[in-house]
Amino acid sequence: MADRQLTFEIFRYNPLKPEVAPYMQTYKLAETTGMTIFVALNMIREEQDPSLMFDFVCRAAICGSCAMVINGRPRLACKTLTNTLPAKIKLFPLPVFKLVGDLAVDTGTWFRYLSEKTESWVHTSKVPDPKVQEERMDNAVANQIYEAERCIECGCCIAGCATANIRDEFLGAAGINRVARFMVDPRDERSPGEYFEIVGSEEGAFGCMGLMACDDNCPMELPLQMQLAFVRRKMAAYGLGYKEKKRIKP
Amino acid sequence: MLQRVLTKSNKSDLYLDLIELASGLLLVGFLWTHMLFVSTILISPEMFNTLSEFLDTYYLSYFAIPFIVVVALLHFVIAGRRIPTRIQEQRIVWQHAKMLNHFDTWTWVFQAITGMAILVLAAIHVWLVVTGWPINAMNSADRMEAFWWFYLVLLFVGEYHAGFGIYRQFVKWGMFPRKPIGYVAKLITVVIIVLGLAAMVAFVRLGGGA
Ligand code: SF4
Ligand code: SF4
Ligand code: FES
C-alpha cells in the first residue's frame, strides 16, 4: 500500500475574495500508513499551502465538523482512510451549507435552526425535584433514544439528499431523526398534533422522496430509513385521525 | 412570513403523499395483473380469447380502462409534483446525481424520466387498443407484429417504473429494511419482463403464421 503517490484535487474558493473565481487546485502527497484524509489535509496545509481552509476538531468522528465531499460522497475526513480510495482524490465542500471557504462550511447555523424548529428539548410540565431519585426508563426505550442521539450533526445526510439540495426549508434526515428521538421519549409530553405541526408537511416527513442517500452516507450508520418511515407512519396515522391511546406517563 | 403562516398546518401534503401511494399501488397492481392476463397467450390463444371475452361481456374492460386512465393521470400530476420544474433545480439534481453516483438517486432520476415517457407511450397504447377493439389474440398479434419495437420499449419502461416505484414506496412507509424489499421487487420485475417478452414472441409467431 505504501509508496503510493496521491493526487489531491481540491476545490478552492474564498467568498471574501469573490474576484477570484472558484477553481480546482492539485496537490501531490506521498501516502503513509494509516493516513486519513484529515491527516493528508493537515500535511498539505503545513508543507505546501497554508492558505487551505478546512474544518476539524476531534479527529475521531465525534464532533462532525470535518465532513466534506470525498470522491463524490459526503464523508468524514477523519474517518476516511486514503487506502480505501484510488490514488486520485477529489475534494469538495458539502453542498447545501454556507461556504466558509475552500472545504470549510458552516453547518452550525443550519443545525441550530433545526434544533429550534424541532424544539429539541424535552417538553415537560413536571418540575424536577433534586432530592428524589430520577425516574427509571425502560432499557429498550433508552436504547432507542440513544440510537437516534448518536447523530453527530455532520451534515452528510443533508448534503447527500437531492431534496435538501433544492428545497431550503426541508429538515432532512437529521431533522426527522431528531423528531423521532423525542417521539419515543416518554418524558416528552408533546402530542402527535404538536409533532404534526413540525414535520407533518413537505418541510418534514412528506418532503422526503425516499432516495436513501442519507441512509447510505451517514458516517455513524444511523438507521435513517427506519426513522424516516417511523415518523412518516406516525404522522399519517395522526393526520388520518387515528387516536393513539394516551401514553401512560410514570 | 405571512404567506407561510396563512397556509400552514393543513394536511394537504399528507393527502398528496397518500394519493401518490394509493394511485401508485393501484397502478402497479393493475400493470402486473394486466401482464399476467396478457401472458395467458402462452397457454393458448383460446385461453387468451376466453379471458378477454369474459372481461368484455361483464363490462369489466369498459369500467377498468377509463378508471385506470384517470388513476394514471392523477398519479402523473401528484407524483410529478416532486419533479423540479425550474431549470436550475433540474441542473442541481442532475449534477448532484452525477457527483454522488448513488444507485437509489439515479433510479429516482430515471423514475421521473420513465414516468413522463409512460404518459406518452401508454396513451398511444390505449389508443391503439381502443381503436382496434375488441381485444382478441388475432388483433393483438397483428398489433404486436406491426409495433413490436414500440411494445418492447413500453414493457421495459413500464416495468422499470413500477418495480422501482413500489420499492420506493415500501422504503418510505415500510417497516422492513431495504435490501430484501429490493430483491423481491427486482425478482417480480424480472419475472414480469420475461413473461412479457415471451408473450410478445408468442404473438408475433401467431401473427406470422396467419
Ligand atoms: S431518503 Fe429522504 S431524507 Fe434521505 S436522502 Fe432521500 S429524500 Fe433525503
Ligand atoms: S444523521 Fe448521520 S449523516 Fe446526518 S448529521 Fe447525523 S450523523 Fe451526520
Ligand atoms: S474531526 Fe471531528 S468528526 Fe472528523
Task: Give chain A positions within 8 Å (CB) of B82.
Answer: 209
Does residue A121 surpass a pLDDT of 90? Answer: yes
Local confidence band at B7 (pLDDT 50, 70, 90 cut-offs): low
Radius of gyration (Cα) for chain B, nearest Å? Answer: 20
Name the grid cell of A110: 443550519
Cβ atoms of A73 and A66 within 8 Å: the answer is no
Is residue A76 within 6 Å of ligand 3 at its C-beta? yes
Identify the band that residue B81 occupies on the pLDDT scale cut at 50, 70 and 90. Answer: confident
| Nearest residue, CB atoms, A225 vs list B13, B82, B171 | B171
CATH of domain A119-248: 1.10.1060.10
Q: What is the pLDDT of residue B74?
A: 94
Which residues are B161's β-sheet partners? none
pLDDT at B182 over 80: yes
- Closest listed residue to residue A170, CA positions, set B117, B178, B82: B82
Residue A184 and residue A59: Cα distance in Å, rounded? 31
- Tell me how far the alpha carbon of residue A177 lies from the centroid of ligand 2, in angstroms: 9
Taking residues B52-79, what's their average pLDDT? 88
Q: Report how far residue B14's alpha carbon sits from residue B5's, in angstroms, rounded to the nearest whole number.
A: 18
Query: Beta strand A67-70 with A88-92: parallel, antiparallel or unpaired?
Result: antiparallel
Is the sign of the CA dihedral A46, A107, B87, A18 positive or negative? negative
Q: For position A245, what pLDDT does the model report?
A: 58
Q: One-letter amino acid identity for B44?
A: S
pLDDT at B208: 56
A187-195 long-range Cβ contacts below 8 angstroms, 24+ apart: A187/A122, A187/A124, A187/A135, A187/A249, A188/A122, A188/A123, A188/A124, A189/A123, A189/A124, A189/A125, A189/A249, A190/A123, A192/A234, A192/A235, A192/A237, A192/A238, A192/A244, A193/A238, A195/A234, A195/A235, A195/A238
> Which one of the ligands is nearest to A77 CA?
3
The answer, yes or no, to whether any atom of ligand 3 lies below 6 A from the CB of A45, is no
Of the listed ranges A23-37, B63-77, B112-126, B133-147, the one predicted with least confidence: B133-147
Q: For A159, name the nearest residue in chain B, comparing CA atoms only.
A: B96
Residue nearest to atom 6 of ligand 2 (CA): A151
> What distance in Å separates the CA atoms of residue A148 and residue A218, rounded to the nearest whole number?
12
pLDDT at B139: 80
User: Quick check: CB of A43 below 6 Å from ligand 3?
Assistant: no
The C-alpha of A167 sits at a distance from chain B's nearest C-alpha, in angstroms, of 9
Q: What is the pLDDT of residues A163-219, one digit of tens each?
A: 999 998 999 999 999 999 999 999 999 999 899 989 998 889 999 988 889 999 999
**Percentage of chain B lying above the pLDDT 90 cut:** 37
Identify the H or E element spanning A99: strand A98-101
Burial of B114 (0-12, 13-18, 19+ CB in 10 A): buried
User: pLDDT category, B105, cuts 50, 70, 90?
Assistant: confident
Any ligand 3 atom below 6 A from CB of A78: yes
Q: Is the pLDDT of residue A116 over 90?
A: yes
To 10 degrees, what angle do helices B137-173 and B103-131 make?
150
- Hey, how many other C-beta atoms are within 10 angstroms of the C-beta on A44? 20
Least confident segment among A33-47, A229-243, B2-16, B74-88: B2-16
Q: How far is CA B173 from CA A170, A227, B154, B176, in A?
A: 18, 10, 28, 9
Please report the ipTM that was assigned to this predicted complex.
Answer: 0.83
Q: How would residue A118 be classed by pLDDT, with cut points 50, 70 and 90?
A: very high
To test the ligand 2 pocket, which listed residue (A153, A170, A171) has its Cβ within 8 A of the most ligand atoms? A153
Q: What is the mean pLDDT of residues B122-137?
A: 85
Residue pair A96/A164 in contact (Cβ under 8 Å)? The answer is: yes
Q: What average pLDDT does range B78-90 have in this prediction?
A: 87
Q: Is the pLDDT of residue B9 over 60?
A: no
What does the pLDDT read at residue B210?
47
Q: Is the pLDDT of residue A2 over 80?
A: no
Interface test with A, best of B99, B169, B175 (most A CBs within 10 A): B99
Domain boundaries, chain A: 5-104, 119-248
Q: Which DSSP category does A161 fall into?
A: -
- Count CA atoms within 13 Å of residue B79 on its CB side: 29
Q: How far is A168 from chain B (nearest CA, A)?
A: 12
pLDDT at A243: 64
β partners of residue A73: A70
Q: Is 90 exceeded by the pLDDT of residue B147?
A: no
Continuous H helices in chain A: 37-47, 107-117, 139-149, 156-159, 162-166, 172-183, 192-199, 213-217, 224-239
Q: Would you state the CATH architecture of domain A5-104?
A: Roll (3.10)
Q: Are strands A67-70 and A98-101 parallel, antiparallel or unpaired?
A: unpaired
Per residue in A22-72, pLDDT tens?
Answer: 999 999 999 999 999 999 999 999 999 999 999 999 999 999 999 999 999
pLDDT of residue B12: 86
Mean predicted confidence (pLDDT) in B87-106: 88
Best substitution site from A36, A63, A75, A156 to test ligand 3's pocket, by max atoms within 8 Å of Cβ? A63
Q: Whose CA is nearest to atom 8 of ligand 1?
A: A161
Question: Across the interface, which of A166, A229, A235 has its CB nearest the CB of B14?
Answer: A235
Q: State the cell numbers at B207.
A: 401473427
CA angle (A94, A97, A100) in 5-degree steps:
85
The answer to whether the peptide bond before residue B134 is cis (omega within 30 degrees of 0) is yes
Residue B197, CA distances (Å) to B59, B148, B156, B170 in order: 28, 10, 10, 27
CA-CA distance, A191 to A88, in Å (whole number)?
51
Query: Over chain A, what is the mean pLDDT?
Result: 92
Q: What are B164-181's pLDDT values in tens digits? A: 999 999 999 987 888 888
Q: Name the CATH architecture for the domain at B2-208.
A: Up-down Bundle (1.20)
pLDDT at B54 over 90: no
Report the distance separating Cα A163 and Cα B96, nearest Å: 10
pLDDT of residue B4: 66
Q: Which pLDDT does position A249 carry in this prediction?
A: 55
Q: A-B interface: how many C-beta pairs under 8 angstroms?
A: 89
C-alpha B30 chain-centroid distance? 8
State whether A225 and B97 contact (CB < 8 Å): no
pLDDT at residue A88 above 90?
A: yes
Q: What is the structure's pLDDT at B5?
A: 67
Closest residue CA from atom 8 of ligand 2: A154
Q: Ligand 3: which of A36, A41, A55, A57 to mutate, judged by most atoms within 8 Å of the beta carbon?
A: A57
